[in-house]
Structure 1
């Protein structure tokens, strides 16, 4: 099977030991690595009309020299050559640095072709390459690869060309013929050559289309196969909960569940009854009632004789969940709180109770997965704000219980496109309607600073007995600056409002206990205005807060602004969000406009995706967001959907192992260590 492709790169003509070592730094070890090291962009020497050239982009221009070039010398060996070209009906200025020799080669009246950075405003080009004569003989499209200092572009192009010349025939088609035909995709070999040396823009487009689909299909097949293997690896996991007791519990709630809550719950309970381990993501906007669904699910597990755990990112959130679940459950369940600050004798007692099953529900931070915590019979685990937990933390939690059902919850409304991709090995439930009686938060965009109008608006709300948040952005480059900003604002507001109104301050430099203390004072209305950096983003519930003012709002993404806005509007009163922003670019203005027009988190997240791309949804690294070579999940979401449907059909009909057409794909999938590892996980 493809053995020649696995040869070391030193087998390729022109690669010796030294160059091989440099190529290894780029992650290139085998012939196959080299063949599939695709360019990240292409330099095109097509001559376009001036009106089509983009400012500050690389461009190629062909024109006639109006006069002989002029050279100025300055400093040692430094020179600047200027020439004026007649291009269409315009005079274009071309500037070249440190190439005085070119003056002898170029004369008035001659045609010359120059490539370089185009300045739209000054009709000027800064030249990086030139040649006499017209552009016709230039190679039209040149590949540009990601490089390290030790390897030049010329060298890399040369060795990749050598690899293609010698080994292209070893590339096998991996897609079934009927797929290639029905999607009108080029053959794999032909597409590979076009990716490196495109004959035209059209051929390149088709080659990319081919590899985007192939990449997405492989990814989706792996995800869905993992899901199947995981499910089959954990049979005997059924939880026989008591339906009547559960119904009584739901009827004891002071409110009626929404249709979306009922639908999500049905999916969760079905998973619990099934013999396979649950692996489900519950998405719901801030305030949509995920906690109620979590409580009912935990109770189902208790009635099946199991223990349940709820893991959250911060101590204050753990405390809030503890309080709200204790009041929901009353004496139906024994609940304990286990966080890092529970120490000594008390901790010992709680650990003993957990081990002996004297406790039904354990709520805590990642302290829950430390080695000294032993569960008696852990049946159900809920992880809140799951993208804040690393993969290893989730795994160690699974290793503790037998094979608990796992439900991940997030209030970040992740667009469907991303959810099905990033969490392709999960089932996804969405709570997409708000409980009755919740008034949408009215949002206003105010240009500039805290004006008198905004200050008196804050005062009015507080005179009604309400509270307000004032948020400063995190300035990543400088914690100093960010804390300073918050402190300055705090002093400014304290000067205006105190002594009648108490202003509090919270920022990242405070220790956990100090933060907890401030939050407690705010929750108890001892502080009326809380000036804070974005530490309030996750989950803290203060129903009396009705106003959210965000400073420099243009520094936040839509999802973050939406999360902040979700801190207010949690009681029966009308709430407001005021965005102070002076965005300099169109994207910023668009963001503010969208915020004032919609309070639907999913709608916002789709818009955010278009404006920002997927990276920000998952916090760059540990998110498990796949890195694709050619595909872009946002831009190519249609291909992603198609690949997902195809993969689902292949896996559910067991074609991967039984149908000869998928033999090549199966080989590739089996090489993935995750597939091997997951069966054991």
Structure 2
């Protein structure tokens, strides 16, 4: 049999289990071999509850002796379980996914829990631990002889596999998967065909692929397991970086992009009419973009900049250059409120220069949309600003030469490709206000040139951030009122999370109604949230900008699209429910003017993770530093959002947050062989080419080998 053999041939895989395995992505034996453990249970590293120390991350095995569900409203519920061994009791708490955990963790379960230990008094605790349900043979040592299969389940280093609820209900837990994988190894040998050259193995001290597969599933020692994991990570990152090397090579070969030859009247007028001076970092970014646009090769650049660093004006200079060269520019934003904000800013600056700017969104009135699209197709519109509605099939451009995608991590790869296909080899500028750690920049945008704006505009005063409990809300509101009395403006933001969006929105609206009729009845208050129509949002935003609203209350739509220099106070309710990146984005709405600004983070219940996030917010306003902290807390895979696909979602073993050194090594090798052999046609490299096309091309679909 071969790795392409169906798992249906494995003993123990019936019709029902086969269907569940297929749903989890395991169709062939090769799929089963590639279903790597998510963690390993090392008996020598397990600790008894009485020996736990505050702050350490450990694995504890025991039995659930009691469970308790507290609270019934989203955001307030929590689930607790008490795990006992012969030495003591460990309290486990979940604040998220409460309903799921309350059903899946029940009294009498034997669990291996893994997490960070904290103490409340003399009581050991873990919050949101990873856990695996264990069978008795994993807890109690056995005497006498064991069969081979038993050894797989009771050895010193035990692989634990990711399982979903359907797998668990069908009896496909870690033990069953280990048994199936052992049987698969008896039928064929994974990795018999190498996917790296012998010189690459020797140069990088890598295990042979077949040996690495066996050690991944049945480790013989910690040292060999470490070498196997390194081999798998290196290979995975090599093929991910090979994608970038191929794309980079293809872009360099492709001279079909329109060449911008000059900066003209529009560019000069824009510079002359700016009400502020560009920072040196902005000027550098503009020069780098201009150099790309004049090169004749399609620009493929990422512009990173912290909140308020001035990326939009840099993009506008690129757009002005496009118009000077007789081309259209299109600017796509992830949300309607952000698209409207950019549209208003660009219209205000571009209209006096004689440029026509149009807005394209999905919720426009039909007649208005038709007029905009007609003007866009005829070339009457120089610049289009909008949402993903800009890439729909019916939208065409007369002379599109420049594509700009703002907050690009909120768009999937296919959406970006669809935008680029609206013209022949357009220049592309991706922008993000979420500073990205260098590991992610290289791992996800390895084929892009990168411009970074780390310098804030002159005179920008850092925002003071203060963490306060709900009990101190009265004092916080007093401060807010005092600032408004000085002629300033402020925000109050309520959380809006996916799992309880309707209830959150209702709470925000009710809180606004109460505040505007009681505590702040004498102030001019406004409400903004995602359920308002575009016209309603625009109206509220414009009133706030003009100073007709003192206090803007809303949900996280305030995160983007609202730029009011006179706003000096932000109060974020239930700040413990927000992620670091979102808190930083929200904070960026204040501190944009000449007056000192303050951001209050109000919390109701503080978990260990929340304390770490809020402490980070209090300690720094540097978005790049915050992104590094965020990556450590949440892991690299969560930083760029759910919509980010490409190499990040294709990684199964490597962790971009932790494996930077491996990635550098793999990247160097990938770029080296593509530089030597751009189409991977040589006898030495044809195996790499075939493996990429066969195994990795579907996962990393951004580049083709010609």
Query: 1:194 and 2:194 equivalent?
Result: no
CA contact (8 A) 1:116 1:128 kept: no
Q: Label 1:324 to 1:15 Cα distance change in 2 as closer, same or farther (>3 A).
A: closer
| Shift in Å, 1:346 | 4.8
CA contact (8 A) 1:470 1:549 kept: yes
Separation in 1 of the partners of 2:61 and 2:366?
69
Separation in 1 of the partners of 2:531 and 2:145?
60
1:36-94 superposed Cα distances (whole Å, 9 cap, x missing partner): 22222333444867476689944499xxxxxxxxxxxxxxxxxxxxxx99xxxxx7589
**Paired position in structure 2 for 1:398:** 420
Supply the RMSD in Å over aligned alpha carbons: 3.6
Query: 1:205 and 2:226 equivalent?
Result: yes
Query: 1:226 and 2:247 equivalent?
Result: yes
Q: Label 1:616 to 1:512 Cα distance change in 2 as closer, same or farther (>3 A).
A: farther
Separation in 2 of the partners of 1:116 and 1:535?
41
**Paired position in structure 2 for 1:139:** 155
Within a 5 Å distance, the mapping from 1:517-528 to structure 2 comes to: 517-528=539-550
1:647-671 superposed Cα distances (whole Å, 9 cap, x missing partner): 2333233377255444432211122
Separation in 1 of the partners of 2:123 and 2:527?
50
**Paired position in structure 1 for 2:657:** 634
**Paired position in structure 2 for 1:649:** 672
Q: Label 1:345 to 1:584 Cα distance change in 2 as closer, same or farther (>3 A).
A: closer
Q: Label 1:497 to 1:41 Cα distance change in 2 as closer, same or farther (>3 A).
A: closer
Separation in 2 of the partners of 1:569 and 1:47?
49
1:268-291 superposed Cα distances (whole Å, 9 cap, x missing partner): 112212222222221111211112
The alignment's TM-score, normalised by the length of structure 1, stands at 0.83
CA contact (8 A) 1:226 1:675 kept: no
**Paired position in structure 2 for 1:506:** 528
CA contact (8 A) 2:191 2:209 kept: no
CA contact (8 A) 2:255 2:297 kept: yes
Bigger mean CA deviation after superposition, 660-669 or 17-26: 17-26
Separation in 1 of the partners of 2:501 and 2:196?
51
How many residue pairs get aligned? The number is 631
Instruction: Give unpaired runs (5+ residues) of structure 1.
Output: 62-83, 86-90, 95-114
Bigger mean CA deviation after superposition, 390-399 or 303-312: 390-399
CA contact (8 A) 2:38 2:161 kept: yes
- Larger Rg over CA atoms: 1
| Correspondent of 1:171 among 189, 192, 203 | 192
Secondary structure in 2 aligned to 1:593?
Answer: helix
**Paired position in structure 2 for 1:298:** 319
CA contact (8 A) 2:46 2:58 kept: no
Secondary structure in 2 aligned to 1:189?
Answer: helix
Q: Label 1:60 to 1:184 Cα distance change in 2 as closer, same or farther (>3 A).
A: farther
CA contact (8 A) 1:656 1:663 kept: no
The alignment's TM-score, normalised by the length of structure 2, stands at 0.80
1:543-578 superposed Cα distances (whole Å, 9 cap, x missing partner): 221111111111111111110011111222221111
Separation in 1 of the partners of 2:649 and 2:561?
27
Secondary structure in 1 aligned to 2:403?
Answer: strand
Secondary structure in 2 aligned to 1:275?
Answer: coil
Secondary structure in 2 aligned to 1:641?
Answer: helix
Secondary structure in 2 aligned to 1:530?
Answer: strand
Query: 1:666 and 2:664 equivalent?
Result: no
| Correspondent of 1:537 among 528, 539, 559 | 559
**Paired position in structure 2 for 1:97:** none
Separation in 2 of the partners of 1:476 and 1:191?
40
Secondary structure in 2 aligned to 1:337?
Answer: strand
Separation in 2 of the partners of 1:479 and 1:428?
36
Query: 1:36 and 2:52 equivalent?
Result: no
Secondary structure in 2 aligned to 1:276?
Answer: coil
| Shift in Å, 1:9 | 3.7
Q: Label 1:491 to 1:178 Cα distance change in 2 as closer, same or farther (>3 A).
A: same
Q: Label 1:134 to 1:20 Cα distance change in 2 as closer, same or farther (>3 A).
A: closer
Within a 5 Å distance, the mapping from 1:540-619 to structure 2 comes to: 540-582=562-604, 584-619=606-641
Secondary structure in 2 aligned to 1:38?
Answer: coil
**Paired position in structure 1 for 2:66:** none
Bigger mean CA deviation after superposition, 410-419 or 16-25: 16-25
Within a 5 Å distance, the mapping from 1:112-131 to structure 2 comes to: 128-129=136-137, 130=140
1:578-628 superposed Cα distances (whole Å, 9 cap, x missing partner): 111255333322222221221111111111111111343232245443242
Within a 5 Å distance, the mapping from 1:62-461 to structure 2 comes to: 92=87, 128-129=136-137, 130=140, 133=143, 139-147=155-163, 148=167, 149-150=169-170, 152=172, 153-168=174-189, 171-230=192-251, 232=253, 235-242=256-263, 246-247=267-268, 249-329=270-350, 331-340=352-361, 342-343=364-365, 346-461=368-483
Q: Label 1:327 to 1:23 Cα distance change in 2 as closer, same or farther (>3 A).
A: closer
| Shift in Å, 1:474 | 1.6
CA contact (8 A) 1:237 1:274 kept: no
1:619-640 superposed Cα distances (whole Å, 9 cap, x missing partner): 2245443242221111223222
Bigger mean CA deviation after superposition, 425-434 or 133-142: 133-142
| Shift in Å, 1:167 | 2.3
CA contact (8 A) 1:230 1:678 kept: no
Separation in 2 of the partners of 1:629 and 1:344?
45
Secondary structure in 2 aligned to 1:477?
Answer: helix
CA contact (8 A) 2:650 2:699 kept: no
CA contact (8 A) 1:35 1:160 kept: yes
Separation in 1 of the partners of 2:358 and 2:269?
25
CA contact (8 A) 1:422 1:626 kept: no
Instruction: Give unpaired runs (5+ residues) of structure 2.
Output: 64-83, 90-109, 125-132
CA contact (8 A) 1:174 1:662 kept: no
Separation in 2 of the partners of 1:139 and 1:234?
59
Separation in 2 of the partners of 1:29 and 1:657?
30
| Shift in Å, 1:182 | 4.0
Secondary structure in 2 aligned to 1:338?
Answer: strand
Bigger mean CA deviation after superposition, 336-345 or 445-454: 336-345
Separation in 1 of the partners of 2:113 and 2:412?
45
Separation in 2 of the partners of 1:649 and 1:243?
40
CA contact (8 A) 1:471 1:533 kept: yes
**Paired position in structure 2 for 1:105:** none
Separation in 2 of the partners of 1:548 and 1:135?
67
Separation in 1 of the partners of 2:351 and 2:190?
71
Separation in 1 of the partners of 2:371 and 2:180?
66
Q: Label 1:378 to 1:478 Cα distance change in 2 as closer, same or farther (>3 A).
A: same
1:501-542 superposed Cα distances (whole Å, 9 cap, x missing partner): 122222344344333332232222222111111111113212
Q: Label 1:451 to 1:540 Cα distance change in 2 as closer, same or farther (>3 A).
A: closer
| Shift in Å, 1:454 | 1.2
CA contact (8 A) 1:230 1:679 kept: no
Separation in 1 of the partners of 2:299 and 2:580?
31
Bigger mean CA deviation after superposition, 271-280 or 309-318: 309-318
Secondary structure in 2 aligned to 1:433?
Answer: coil
Q: Label 1:367 to 1:197 Cα distance change in 2 as closer, same or farther (>3 A).
A: closer
Separation in 2 of the partners of 1:446 and 1:93?
35
Separation in 2 of the partners of 1:349 and 1:263?
38
CA contact (8 A) 1:322 1:335 kept: no
| Shift in Å, 1:245 | 6.5
| Shift in Å, 1:188 | 1.6
Secondary structure in 2 aligned to 1:594?
Answer: helix
Secondary structure in 2 aligned to 1:547?
Answer: strand
Secondary structure in 1 aligned to 2:41?
Answer: strand
